[in-house]
């Protein structure tokens, strides 16, 4: 279960009588990228920082990394074993703080820690990256996930929400404290610098100077709704052709084959490129003319924030998270999730460079609120509050 220590992490600093310890928990190690600034911050404060997730991808800047197979599905029997292993880990290491991320990480973490909160004085933090119950969610989500989260809130000392809809909902829960933090933070200045490499990236992509490049980023799963953009492009092809229009999709997932077959059946495959998982999203945003994000469900989408920070005009769906970021017809276009509506928005922006520039400028100003430089102090203040509570209990 233990994967050892991250190679690049500097040795933890011991201060006081005992080592202070925090465990970050999530379904996947890939989620650790959102925690890295705070993991480093805790190490600077003299804490031992451990990370636990499914898989064996190395997480930097932690002292110990543990692998527990947490399944995404709440109905997977694997989670019974994961719960047992997690409880054993918490007992063995006697953490002062547990910070849970992802839905099942939040469920199992809070259940495993529930018996330790009084006895061992462990503080439990949960960041909700988007509740499964939301305006327009299926009835099942409300019947199942809502009561689960409401009950688990009682086992949570600090509940962090990242969009306004979730915050208002969680205020009715009986968590120790509920706060709103504007997302996980993106490095706005760094993304702005990437925008300078636009032409070089377009050459690398084989795009002509006159091409109109549309970009979408997200897993190839139903929730990301890539199929809607394919259907919109098919409408445009019938109406006026797709000369010069190229659609790039970044991401991998179970629907890759299905989406490729859909593009083929619609007769638009020559204008659609599946780029797979990419690490150069900022550069691709900078090289694009329009960012389309028609997801069905989000917490606060990082991909959309990155596009806005890169100065790309956006068209997105009217859902929680998107509406936290985009003001319709000021910093982008918010459209109904219908192929015709999306096709109309794409064509309008393709033919109006001035409108694109107007949206891009306003979006760049709006997204500043979600800059990592703004988010970090808010998260650090939240952590300091929890540290103060552990000190009150006399365990530090």
pLDDT in tens, 102-136: 999 999 999 999 988 877 889 999 999 999 999 99
pLDDT at 358 over 60: yes
* φ/ψ bin of 191: left (φ > 0), alpha (ψ from -120 to 50), beta (otherwise): alpha
Residues 34, 102 contacting (CB under 8 angstroms): no
Domain that holds residue 274: 188-369
Whether 177 and 212 map to the same domain: the answer is no
Same domain, 81 and 178: yes
* Backbone phi, psi, residue 150, to 5°: -65, -40
pLDDT at 31: 81
Least confident of 92-106, 141-155, 272-286, 381-395: 381-395
Say yes or no: 207 and 319 in one domain.
yes
Instruction: Based on the fold, state whether residues 11 and 43 are members of the same structural domain.
Output: yes
Q: What is the mean pLDDT of residues 173-179?
A: 96
Residue 7 is classified by DSSP as T
Mean pLDDT over all residues of the chain?
Answer: 91
Q: Are residues 360 and 379 in the same domain?
A: no
The pair of three-digit structure tokens given for residue 357, joined into one six-digit string: 């520039």
- 231 and 175 in one domain? no
Q: What is the mean pLDDT of residues 164-179?
A: 96
**CATH number of the domain that residue 91 is part of:** 3.40.50.2000
User: Based on the domain organization, do 59 and 167 belong to the same domain?
Assistant: yes
Residues 123 and 89 in one domain: yes
Tell me the average pLDDT across 380-396.
84
More confident call, 117 vs 276: 276
Give residue-wise pLDDT tens across range 343-357.
999 999 999 999 999
């Amino acid at each position: 279960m233990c994967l050892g220590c991250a190679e690049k992490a500097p040795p933890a600093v011991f201060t006081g009588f005992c080592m202070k310890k925090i465990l970050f928990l999530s379904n996947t190690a890939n989620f650790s990228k959102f925690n890295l600034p705070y993991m480093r911050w805790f190490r600077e404060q003299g804490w031992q920082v451990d990370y636990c997730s499914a898989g064996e991808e190395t997480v930097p800047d932690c002292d110990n990394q543990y692998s527990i197979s947490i399944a995404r599905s709440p109905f997977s029997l694997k989670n019974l074993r994961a719960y047992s292993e997690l409880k054993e880990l918490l007992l063995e290491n006697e953490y002062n703080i547990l910070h849970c991320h992802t839905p099942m990480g939040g469920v199992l973490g809070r259940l495993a820690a529930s018996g330790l909160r009084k006895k061992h004085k462990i503080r439990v933090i949960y960041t909700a990256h988007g509740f499964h119950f939301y305006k327009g969610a299926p009835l099942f989500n409300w019947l199942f996930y809502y009561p689960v989260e409401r009950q688990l809130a009682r086992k949570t000392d600090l509940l962090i929400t990242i969009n306004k809809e979730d915050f208002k909902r969680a205020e009715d829960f009986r968590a120790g404290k509920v706060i709103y933090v504007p997302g996980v933070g993106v490095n706005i200045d760094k993304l702005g610098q990437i925008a300078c490499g636009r032409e070089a990236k377009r050459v690398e992509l084989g795009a002509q100077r006159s091409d109109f490049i549309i970009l979408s980023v997200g897993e190839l799963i139903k929730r990301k709704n890539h199929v809607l953009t394919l259907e919109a492009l098919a409408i445009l092809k019938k109406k006026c052709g797709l000369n010069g229009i190229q659609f790039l999709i970044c991401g991998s997932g179970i629907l890759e084959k299905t989406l490729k077959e859909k593009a083929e059946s619609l007769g638009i495959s020559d204008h659609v490129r599946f780029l797979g998982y990419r690490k150069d999203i900022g550069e691709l945003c900078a090289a694009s003319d329009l960012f389309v994000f028609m997801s069905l469900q989000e917490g606060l989408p990082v991909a959309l924030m990155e596009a806005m920070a890169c100065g790309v005009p956006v068209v997105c769906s009217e859902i929680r998270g998107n509406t936290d970021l985009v003001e319709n017809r000021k910093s982008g276009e918010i459209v109904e999730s219908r192929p015709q509506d999306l096709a109309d928005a794409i064509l309008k922006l393709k033919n109006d460079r001035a409108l694109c520039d107007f949206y891009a400028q306003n979006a760049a100003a709006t997204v500043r609120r979600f800059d990592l430089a703004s988010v970090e102090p808010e998260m650090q203040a939240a952590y300091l509050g929890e540290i103060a509570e552990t000190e009150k209990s006399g365990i530090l």
